[in-house]
Chains A and B, each alone.
Chain A
């Protein structure tokens, strides 16, 4: 366990460093990238731009700029170029919104996928299975933008069952949930389709395993065989997928959903920063995502170890 923790911590540091270098370097090679110009404004004189450039250190060599920026990031003092806002504060403020969107949606998509995948596998080849699988294909292939738009059109405009867009804080849980139901669905549908198909095929493979046959030969009921012997072993692939999808989603990858439903989350902030070639928020977002990916990767491995005693945690 010590070995596992140390190794993971080291690889996390290496990954964070690499991510920050890549993100920082990527902007350096963009031809039209001129942060001083952006900060100084469209109508600034060359003198002003030069002054801004000196003040922000854009005239220094790249590695000095990198070191300085990273210092600011880790002391929490870094500000974005578009609005002069403290980036870390922005992330801190927006993170609860993203989490409000992603966490329940994650539970929804994982739970639904387990239910649908299981039902489908248990009834393999029959009508239920076919219906579920066709629905899953549709879910996977429909673009999130379109789905979100359709949901809004039918349930918010036409039927007015749900509010239009916007975010309500958790201080009023009912309003909070009421405003988020459509975004949760929009974010979950794609993954439900995807995960349930993976689970179904895993379960069908499992059904042919010798130890599942043994379990049946013991006289266990179908349900017992399914729960104790098949499901547990088939969950691993979708748990892996879940860890990574969840990590990137709370790192900002739910940006389309956030944008369509006008949720002031991390994804929305990152999207606008990319449009403005605003390095600091992108850098922080990338580091944050990398951090979550490593963290959830480690959590998945620990879970693997619990689910399967043959796996010993190694770096």
Chain B
């Protein structure tokens, strides 16, 4: 098994987008043990750092070319900070970050310049992220000029982009306030696309929009991805909308990865209890189904990221937590099909699957070696892979993936 310290080990170990995904397997961004702590300062004369906000805490992941990686977690889980770290709007305080294989962890502004063109960000609030005093033509055109598009070509390219994002090219001279929320988000997308990026980091791009408009923007993003060969990192606060865009989904809690899974599988077979809770928390727009499913409402609130709990970060709220969860941080166990989960008591998987799981090279360095106990699961009786969304037990047709299909890291 490759040690996590060997460069590239993580990329080899994890860039296994599942068959249905769009990714072609070439790593675009690789994060290894990425860490961003914000200092909390205090002092009478000289500020001393008295504590840290553990915003991103030893996160390793890979984003491959052409894929969409969904990042999901509740407020304060570090998803936005992680995104800003990956595009180097923040400098990580630890770990390594590579873009197309090149170490960009410590690059300065100038060194980052070419990468800035390839990686663009779209923000949540379409109202405040567009300069109200600039016309649409300027908002989209200026980044083009900055990145060396010839002046005379700019206008025709702006018009073309407006058309591609579903806006009227005639509106090139309008101001942002003359557009609706959904249209403004289209402008935000067009601005990001202006410099022909390879990766768009979308920070809750549709959260502020009405449902019917959300769908319009999501469909647009889907079209643009195919048209421009883009990779997306799509950040969301719940599991509903990411499902439609993601090839793989990362679930974060309090700065750590809880689960990484091919998108479809995450919904059919959530392994981490936190993922289950996130799924159960979304009410189903169907009164009968909604009443029928046994919803476990997760109690409590996320702990303070300044002083995160030891062991598994989720154990204070977890319905399955035992002693070990409070003391030992679980490693990311890799199950069949490139499905990773950091949990001592994995759900929706049988004893066989647990037994064949291996410690993933993406595991945090602070995590122990304690892999989930297959024997205990066997004694407890194999939990049938249930339907987490309805909570109605086994669903026909949900075939458990064969346990021998664990690709990625070598034999343990």
Is there a direct interface between A and B, measured as CB atoms under 8 Å apart in the complex? yes
Interface residues in A1-16 by Cβ distance below 8 A to B read: 2-3, 6-7
- Which B residues touch A3, using CB under 8 A? 43-45
**Interface range on chain A (Cβ under 8 Å from partner):** under 10
Instruction: Give the number of chain B interface residues (Cβ < 8 Å).
Output: 3
- Which A residues touch B45, using CB under 8 A? 3, 6-7
A6 to B45, CA, bound (A): 7
Chain A residue nearest in CB terms to B43: A3
A3 to B45, CA, bound (A): 7
A6 to B47, CA, bound (A): 13
- Which B residues touch A6, using CB under 8 A? 44-45
A2 to B43, CA, bound (A): 10
- Which B residues touch A7, using CB under 8 A? 44-45
Chain B residue nearest in CB terms to A4: B44
Interface of B is mostly: loop
- Which A residues touch B44, using CB under 8 A? 2-3, 6-7
Binary contact track B39-59/A, C-beta < 8 Å → 1, others 0: 000011100000000000000
- Which A residues touch B43, using CB under 8 A? 3
> How far does the Cβ of A2 sit from chain B's closest Cβ, in whole Å?
6
A3 to B50, CA, bound (A): 15
A7 to B43, CA, bound (A): 10
A6 to B44, CA, bound (A): 7
Binary contact track A197-217/B, C-beta < 8 Å → 1, others 0: 000000000000000000000
> How far does the Cβ of A44 sit from chain B's closest Cβ, in whole Å?
52
> How far does the Cβ of A237 sit from chain B's closest Cβ, in whole Å?
23
- Which B residues touch A2, using CB under 8 A? 44
> How far does the Cβ of A122 sit from chain B's closest Cβ, in whole Å?
30
Binary contact track B13-44/A, C-beta < 8 Å → 1, others 0: 00000000000000000000000000000011
A64 to B321, CA, bound (A): 75
A3 to B41, CA, bound (A): 12
A53 to B43, CA, bound (A): 50
A7 to B44, CA, bound (A): 8
A120 to B43, CA, bound (A): 45
Binary contact track A170-206/B, C-beta < 8 Å → 1, others 0: 0000000000000000000000000000000000000
> How far does the Cβ of B47 sit from chain A's closest Cβ, in whole Å?
9
Chain B residue nearest in CB terms to A10: B45
A258 to B44, CA, bound (A): 42
Q: List 8 A-B contacts (CB under 8 A).
A: A2-B44, A3-B43, A3-B44, A3-B45, A6-B44, A6-B45, A7-B44, A7-B45
Given contacts A3-B44, A3-B45, 6 further A-B contacts (CB under 8 A): A2-B44, A3-B43, A6-B44, A6-B45, A7-B44, A7-B45
